[in-house]
Amino acid sequence: MTTINREEIQKFSKLAEEWWDVSGKFKPLHMFNPIRIEYILEKTSSHFKSSDKKLPLKGLRFLDIGCGGGLMAEPMSRLGADVTGIDASLKNIKIAEIHANKNNLDIKYLNTSPENLNENERYDVILNLEIVEHVEDVDLYFRSCAKLLKKNGIMFTATLNRTFTSFVKAIIGAEYVLRWLPIGTHDWNKFFKPEEIEKKIKDLNFSVQDIMGLQYNPLTKKWKRSKNLSVNYIITSEKN
């Protein structure tokens, strides 16, 4: 059993050189990052009652699954977290390592998948950001996350809702009209409704703490938090 979908890995490996090009194929993620960082920092600091203003994530072990070129791993590291980033694409890992070294960041990058990580490893925070819609076996994926997360640790799961609106905006709009993403980046049938994710993780003894929608404002060209979950959303959950 595996969570690795070879076609998805090849797709992202071909784009690996562009991870840190803010105007390249991953431009949407660069635009997305500020609001995601703000939200994760807020929820994590509150959950672990951090009082360190400069390094609010200090002392916390983060696991960034499907880390790509390190777009989230690096800011988490700068905020004090002890970060491990894993990705099934070796090319992504190499790009991430090079960029982290250039910036003198001590991040542990591994070319692996969550089910193959040492179960003795335990993390305070797990980041599942725009990854579950690309994995082969989602149930195995979440079971692996549950094993790797400490009791009372928190997990962030960000993905796309399977709605007509998401088909229009995330597939037709982002891939075909705006050309933000290469055509074929997403498969609408692999999107998850929030209640589907909730059921999977509740069955693994997680409790949902918060669900937030993310919306793009074409006028300001910025993302904002929203109660609208019809396209992008992020679930914060705690392992009981």
- Phi and psi dihedrals of 16, rounded to 5? -55, -35
Would you say residue 207 lies in a domain? Answer: yes
**Structural domain count, the chain:** 1
Q: Which residues contact 211 (CB under 8 A, 6 or more apart)?
A: 194, 229, 233, 234, 235, 236
pLDDT exceeds cutoff 70 at 7: yes
Residue type, 97: E
User: In 3D, which of 62, 224, 36 has the Cα closest to residue 130?
Assistant: 36
**This prediction's pTM:** 0.91
CATH of the domain at 107: 3.40.50.150
Give the structural domain span for 166.
6-239
pLDDT digits (tens, 9 = 90+) for 181-193: 667 677 888 889 9
For residues 130 and 71, is the Cβ–Cβ distance under 8 A? no
Is residue 88, in this structure, part of any structural domain at all? Answer: yes
Query: Is 90 domain-assigned?
Result: yes
Classify residue 196 by its DSSP letter. H
Q: In this structure, is residue 11 part of a structural domain?
A: yes
* CA distances for 112 relative to 80, 168, 173, 219, angstroms: 24, 33, 32, 40
Q: Is residue 1 part of a domain?
A: no
pLDDT tens string 33-57 = 999 999 999 999 999 998 888 999 9
Q: Dig out the tokens for 100 from the structure.
A: 């982290």
Give a yes or no: residue 160 inside a domain.
yes
pLDDT at residue number 182: 65
Query: What is the average pLDDT score of the chain?
Result: 91
Q: Say if 57 falls within a structural domain.
A: yes
Q: Can you give the C-alpha Rg of the chain in angstroms?
A: 17
Summarize pLDDT for 70-116 with one digit per residue, the tens.
Answer: 999 999 999 999 999 999 999 999 999 999 999 999 999 999 999 99
Contact 122, 95 (CB under 8 A): no
Residue 71 CA to residue 68 CA, distance in Å, equals: 7
* Residue 46: inside a domain: yes
